Chains A and B, each alone.
Chain A
Amino acid sequence: MIELRAPLTEKAVRGLKIGDTVYLTGDAITGRDEMHMRAVECSRQGKAVPEGLVGSVLYHSGPIVIKDGDKWKAVAAGPTTSARMDSLEPEMIRRFGIRAIIGKGGMSKETGDAMREAGCVYLAAVGGTAVSLAESIVEVIGVEWEDLGMAEAMWRFRLDKMGPLIVAMDAGGGSLYENVRSRLVR
Chain B
Amino acid sequence: MIKLPEPIDQVVANLLKAANTKLPPDIGWAMEAAAGWESDPTARTQLGAIMDNVKKAEVLGRPMCQDTGIPTFFVRGRFDASIRGEIIKGLIRATETVPLRPNTVDPLTRKNAGDNLGKGMPPIHYLPTDDDFVEIAVLIKGAGSENMTRLAMLNPSDGIEGVKRFVVDSVLEAGGRPCPPGVIGIGIGGTAEDCVAMSKEALMIPLDTENGDPMLKELEEELFIKLNGSGLGPMGLGGATTSLGVRIKTAYCHTASLPVAVSIGCWATRRAVARITGTAVEYGQGADR
Query: Which B residues touch A176, using CB under 8 A?
Result: 42, 237-238
Size of interface on A: residues with Cβ below 8 Å to B: 44
Q: Pick the contact of B235 from A19, A105, A186 — CB < 8 Å?
A: A105
Chain A 164-176 near chain B by CB (<8 Å), digits 1 or 0: 1010100000001
- Cβ-defined contact, A64 with B267, below 8 A: no
Q: Is the CB of B102 within 8 A of A62?
A: no
Q: Does A49 contact B (CB under 8 A)?
A: no
B56 to chain A: closest CB distance in Å?
4
Q: Which of B216-245 contact A (CB under 8 A)?
A: 229-238
The DSSP consensus for interface residues of chain B is loop
Please encode chain A, from 51 to 79, with 1 for each CB lying within 8 Å of some chain B CB and 0 for all others: 00000000001111010000000011110
Residues of chain A with a CB closer than 8 A to B229's CB: 185
| A133 vs B49: C-alpha distance when bound (angstroms) | 10
Give B58 Cβ to nearest chain A Cβ, in Å. Answer: 9
Q: Are A75 and B99 in contact (CB under 8 A)?
A: yes
Contact of B53 among A62, A66, A128, A186 (CB under 8 A): A128
For A19, A164, A179, A186, the residue with the greatest tally of chain B CB atoms inside 10 Å of its CB is: A186
Q: Across the interface, do A180 and B65 meet the contact criterion of CB distance under 8 Å?
A: no
Complex Cα distance, B235 from A134, in Å, reads: 19
**Nearest B residue to A1, CB-CB:** B45
Q: Which residue of A has the minimal Cβ distance to B148?
A: A81
Interface size grouping (class) on chain B: 35 or more
- CB neighbours (8 Å) of A132 from chain B are 49, 52-53, 56
Task: Find residues 130-147 in chain A having any chain B CB closer than 8 Å to their own CB.
Answer: 130-135
* With contact pairs A77-B66, A164-B45, A184-B230 given, residues A151 and B175 touching in the complex (Cβ less than 8 Å): no
A83 to B147, CA, bound (A): 11
A131 near B231 with CB under 8 A, answer: no
Bound Cα distance A62, B112 (Å): 14
Known contacts A64-B68, A76-B64, A176-B238; 8 additional CB pairs below 8 A are: A64-B66, A104-B177, A130-B66, A132-B56, A150-B102, A164-B46, A180-B238, A184-B172
